[in-house]
Amino acid sequence: MTQQNLVFPARVLRGAGVINQLGAICAGLGQRALLIGGHQALQAVEAQVRAQLLTANVTLLAQEWFGGETSITHINRLAAIASELHAEVLIGVGGGKSLDTVKAVGAQLGLPVVTLPTIAATCSAVTPLSIRYDDNGNFFDIFPLPQAPAAVIIDSELLANAPPRWLAAGLGDTLAKWYEFRAVSARHPARAGNALSSLAHSQICYDVIAEHGPAAYAAVQRSESSASLDQVLDAIFTWAGLTSLMSNGAHAAASHAIYEGFTFCDKTREFGHGLLVGFGNLCLLALEHRADEEVLDEMRLARDCGVPLTLGEIAELDERELALIVRESVHAPDMANMAEAVTEARLLAVIERVERLAARI
């Protein structure tokens, strides 16, 4: 019989003000908490986290910067700090790299992790894996973890006040769930129960964003929470997370391969995972030989969600830099999931087609 191992987060809370349940949740996991995150994330939530833990009689041992990259160096450094402080629960705050780092530390030490995303840029808050990089930010691997977060706290009021580009990143990354899974299914049709479930969840991701994404992005540009924002937060975190969980991560294709290529260029590496994936989505559609009108329709959705349509919106690249990105994209493992082989010449031609179509938007 075929065995499977699906690892789900224990609790997922989403809504306005759910950060106010952090103390009670942590108290049920341990009495000694270590807070880890990005500089801006720590500044944004440290006071609320401290107050929540104080009320719940949980000791805040320290707060630590995650290091800037989800690298083995920083994972080991933070694991040593957590061990020295005898931490019993880890609280991760920030975006994807920060949360992936904290999850990896928790898995290494066997400690429960509570994730508190301060931007809605990826589904990292819920998934039992870490995307690791080297210390310079070059993509290294996708590292599966034996545990998912003990709790995920998705506060829509907090996320409504984050920079809008990070919601755009989350929308771009979540749209990829459908575009990529559909592309992967062309080569490896979804027949088994988990694969069919994951494909269905990816379709939900797309449908929710197509209906609510533009309105949610417009609301966040006004720093407002809204019903549309709640809907897309469910898509970005819950539905996208379920897509990844049910497929055991085997659902990525050209969109993520192109993102991985971007990480090898100094000018584009820090632009934002989901924004780069969002541009990769458009290239994926072109790689599938989809008609101009279909690609244009998806470009309009991407534009209304704040996703870049052209390389010029990402960075000014010379021929050498673009050649590096294309080469690394083609050789990224995820590109092998496309139905047809992708060469450097073909990918470059596809990028040029996307640029021409963008001029018509």
**Binding-site residue positions:** 96-100, 127, 129, 133, 173, 256, 273
Could you give the 3-state DSSP secondary structure of residue 267? coil
The tokens for 216 are 């949610």
State the Cα–Cα distance between residues 156 and 234, nearest whole angstrom.
10
The tokens for 96 are 């994807």
State the amino acid at position 309 in one-letter form. Answer: L
Q: Which of the 8 DSSP states describes residue 110? A: T
State the Cα–Cα distance between residues 286 and 30, nearest whole angstrom.
50
Binding-site sequence positions for glycerol: 173, 256, 273
What is the DSSP annotation of 114-137?
EEEESS-S-STTT-SEEEEE-TTS
Binding-site sequence positions for NAD(+): 96-100, 127, 129, 133
Tally of CA atoms within 13 A in the half-sphere of 167 that contains its CB: 34
State the Cα–Cα distance between residues 184 and 187, nearest whole angstrom.
6
State the Cα–Cα distance between residues 9 and 124, nearest whole angstrom.
11
- Asked if 35 and 60 touch (Cβ cutoff 8 Å), the reply is yes
> 201 vs 25, 249, 334, CA distance in Å?
28, 13, 20
